[in-house]
Structure 1
Amino acid sequence: MTRKAKATIAVLSTLIAYVSVNSIIHVLRPAAFVWSAEDREERDWIASSRSWFDRKSCRWLSICGAAHLQTVHGEFGHREPVERVNAHDAEPEAPWRSFWISGASESEWDADERARRQIPDYVFHYAPLVHLYSGEQFWPGDIAEHLHHTTPTLNYTPIQAQWDHPTLRDLDELNKNIPQTDGNNKGESWADWDGRVDGDIPGDTEEDRAKWYDFHQLQQEAAAVHESNTDEHFQAQQILKEELRRRYGGEEIYDNGAGGRSNAPAILVVMDKGNGIVDAFWFYFYSFNLGNTVVNVRFGNHVGDWEHCLVRFHNGKPKALFFSAHQGGEAYSYEAVEKIGQRPVIYSAEGSHAMYATAGVQEYLLPWGLLHDVTDRGPLWDPLLNTKAYTYDFDNKHLRASTFSPSAPTEWFHYRGHWGDKFYPLGDSRQYRFAGQYHFVNGPLGPKFKHLNRHKVCQGPDRSPCVIKNYVEQGKRPRRWGSSRQGE
């Protein structure tokens, strides 16, 4: 028998064994193949393909939509990236602008209600800055504008007319169409002035960290919170301006040459968790998430993308930050991350918008850098220039527009559905799946479902450990938890 024949027999034997084992496991343990929310609809998803060969190949070999596969070449989509424009030159009569001033009237609040809506000054003093990727194609988006171009659907079927778009004021009314659930959703050198401290941090003892690391373990006595005063705020702004002058040669952050300014509003949700602990969640929305590539094939695209950074304060002082990245993220002590003045700096990855503490290549999930994000010191975005700020009472599920943006609507926050398309059927020419990874996945759930009442800084389950690093590592994979691949 020739060597070529032996090799052929070996390949066929391996293929037969793989198909046999795969089919037996499918029959005996179908749940073993449910790795994500998309996988729960396996049978109907496969049946959507008109090709018998495609259905069988997907069922037995886990090769789905091979005829649809396209390797990456050039920019994603069919249009050149739109040139950035200054917010002052944008269309003034855009209908979605009025969505943001449809909330309750400030005149209806008494003194106690105003106090519940007040956000401490220090939350703004330490607001993160974001370096967008220099070649980013999908920039921060306005959720009001996103809804203006959205037609709500349920299982691929429109439930409203194409011209009847939801708004921030009535988005939660779509909840009546959503089935009830159990609710468990749960290489660049550093500048010498970046404000980081690597290694041991003065005063960061186990005794001090125990006061804010896990608020659930603390006693219920309220700790005194030291409010920042006007002089501190003025000093913080002066330090920021000086650092920006050093970094950008004197240009203001909102100028075209320096700022990469986006007029899309960021969402700030502040929760007072008692014992002097205040969590400030900064949410950033993008209308599209461009998935990353493995051997020049792209996986993980989805419409709608929510990312967030949490800054945890104890007695008015920033202690730790969490940067979301895919299904995981990293937590750092405040001293460890780069800062401009006293404001932390985040690096947003190209396409995926995952958040990192450094510029460079960021590996995750797969070894040898097969799957990675890329960040750099691209345009600097200051979300504080256009923020809609809220306070949130988790126990009563009550979101309040803050005194910072009193007319901001709140209904959109309680929407339980996805902020993007349902993952496309196998019969759709845009869809394919290999090794359990889909080209298009479900859009994400909104900020309300990002474990806001977390005990620790990390987004993972409260029972899981949360490592808060006192140093920044480049090239390390973000921690991963859960089984869902919904975008953030």
Structure 2
Amino acid sequence: MPAENIQYGLVVVGSIRYENGVIENLKTRIPKPPSLPIMGKALPIETTFNLPLPLPSWQPGSGFGSRSIDLGGLEVCRVSTFKRVWAAYEGGPGNLGATFFEPMAIPQGFFMLGGYCQPNNRPLNGWVLVAKDGAALAKPTDYTLVWSSESLKMKQDSHGHFWLPVPPDGYIAVGLVVTASPEKPSVDSIRCVRSDFTEPSQAETSIWVSPNNATESLKVSSSRPQSRGTRALGVAVGTYIAEVNSSVNPLRCLKNNSSSYTSYMPSRSQIDALIRTYSPLFYFHPKEKYLPSSVRWFFSNGALLYKKGNESNPVPIEPTGSNLPQDGSNDGLYWLDLPVTKVGKGKVKKGDLQSSEGYLHVKPMYGGTFTDIAIWLFYPFNGPSRAKLWVVNVPLGRIGEHVGDWEHVTLRVNNFDGGLYKVFFSQHSGGTWVDASELEYQACGGGESNRFVAYSSLNGHATYSKPGLVLQGSRKIGIRNDTAKSCLTVDVAASFSLVAIDYAAAGGSVAPPPWLNYMRKWGPKITYNIAEKVEKVGNVLPRKLKSAFHGLVKSLPSELFGEEGPTGPKVKTNWSGDEASC
């Protein structure tokens, strides 16, 4: 059978096996041809992403949306218009390569701090900060060539040359310059930043890695401040990190030195406007039995407070949670549980969609240059899990069940013009950031909107940006997370409660509900024997599936099994810190 006549797929002829482009049992293995850029079609990056609707005019009330931010002696603004410098058409997501840019239309008196880079598999949607000239900026004295693509055998539109600015004493480079020429760029093309306006940065998401045939390997990643949280002062520049042969990153991010670094955060009225503009519509699976409810509904329908040592005398909870223990720590002394009666338990487990609302926590991020809006949903009960072993679906009994489930999405909005940057979707013990260009947006009133869609997984309530199946594990073996559209929805714009603002917002602060300061468990510790349940499930599986199943169970975090009752939003590390991506 001539190799050139074989189609991709699986073919077995005698002792010859051909699968996914590889012939076995021959002296020569014939690999599947590598993926190529889309020939004759525009790459996604050749289209610039815009939100479905123009941004509204934010009501005055703070520095939010004022286009530039003073970092305490260094004024910066955000530029999202770019000139392409160099592109690679292999490697990166989808093997479509990546493109490197430098900012254009820089306001007069401002200077570039570094270039921008993005994978080619999605529409162009980027930004970099540029800074106003002054004592906090200085020209580089020279450049060091850190990497070149000249020796690479790959599809590229020219040769890329990566230059690290050499700063004068007391200054730091916060970005690189890429050229299509081997000649050094002009020292006038970029500025270095005085060291007291910088902080350590770190790689965030991989963008592009050079092919294996490179003499020196290059890994390009997006950059973010190393220290992140509501009180952290590091400011993302929007540039990238280029690590050669796993070298240490020499670049830094900016630092907000202003004594009032939250002065560019949104006011109360602007927060309301942001919610009206961007708030999500949550879809629940059509087979979902365990829906969300409001916290008040949960308490008013028989939820009980237990105390260690006095388990036989649980206490009904006031609708606002005013009789819950306040502050303290998660010391195991208290926990919540469902009503005692069978009827009461059954009712509360199902939740109450009509009462559901989003609980909003607004906080500064990246030194007050971004606003994070965390939107929390409460579920009285988390349902059982199911595993998928190749084509076999395996119910896991009560594994995954627990009382009191908190899930959230977080909107990250830039404070320069109020544009939506990206959204975090929480998924069990971690989650995923999704760029604004990759979100699904709602059609409201028959027209377009900037409000995105979120999908809650069946029983487990992990959130996703697209419908379908996601396996927690490998591509063929894992815990099922099924999402789909249905008539079961929560529209956050129609029902939300602002429970916390982590800065002095113009227009007034908010009084947190008492339940927010309850720092203990929202559900009891599960006492059934998980190992026994796993063994029962494994015993009914064929040997091959049994081995795969036990391997899957061992690899999953204990959080999934719900052995401990979950804690409330304020106990989570992301309450005062950054989101933890998977």
Higher helix share: 1
More strand by share: 2
Per chain length, whose mean CA-contact separation is higher, i.e. which structure has more relative contact order (CA < 8 Å, sep 6+)? Answer: 1
**Alignment TM-score, normalising by the size of structure 2:** 0.40
Mark the structure with the bigger radius of gyration.
Answer: 2
TM-score when scaled to structure 1?
Answer: 0.47
